[in-house]
Amino acid sequence: MHSSIPIPLMISWVLFFGFVNTHQRHATHFQGASQGYLFALYASVILGCLVGLALLVYYFTQVSWYWPLVLFLVGSLVGGLLFGFLDVKIGLLGMSLVSFIGWPASAIWAFFIIRGLHP
């Protein structure tokens, strides 16, 4: 049983959440002509949400029930605000392109951190 969320897990989750949230924002405000790219954004959001849910359930099996909730809330707040700011500064398309690699990489990182929590 862990008494706090490991900092590397917090960082990986904020990155994961921010990247998936970037795709969600881009799909919602999509103004491009490529329906294929829009489909890729929607597919990424759906897959990212499923992976995120799986990671939270996996984390739940390794720690107390409330730590995944705290992780989700912090990721929502910090990841949403930070990546919303980056979307404006860097540009939504640029951040969206990076997010196709960013969220899977940060999800894998989070998985290995959680896996390492076994007593």
The pTM of this model reads 0.92
CB atoms within 10 A of CB 16: 25
Residue 1 within any structural domain of the chain: no
Residue 13 lies in a domain: yes
Is residue 43 in some structural domain? yes
The pair of structure tokens assigned to 36 is 């294929």
Q: Decide if 44 is inside a domain.
A: yes
Range of the domain at 72: 8-115
What are the tens digits of pLDDT across the range 95-107? 999 999 999 999 9
In a domain, 93, yes or no: yes
Nearest residue to 18 (alpha-carbon basis) of 48, 40, 63: 48
> Does residue 3 sit within a domain?
no
Give the tens place of pLDDT for each residue, 25-56.
999 989 888 999 999 999 999 999 999 999 99
> Does 30 fall in a domain?
yes
Number of domains in the chain: 1
Is 40 contained in some domain? yes
Q: Could you tell me if 58 and 46 are in contact, meaning their C-beta atoms sit under 8 angstroms apart?
A: no
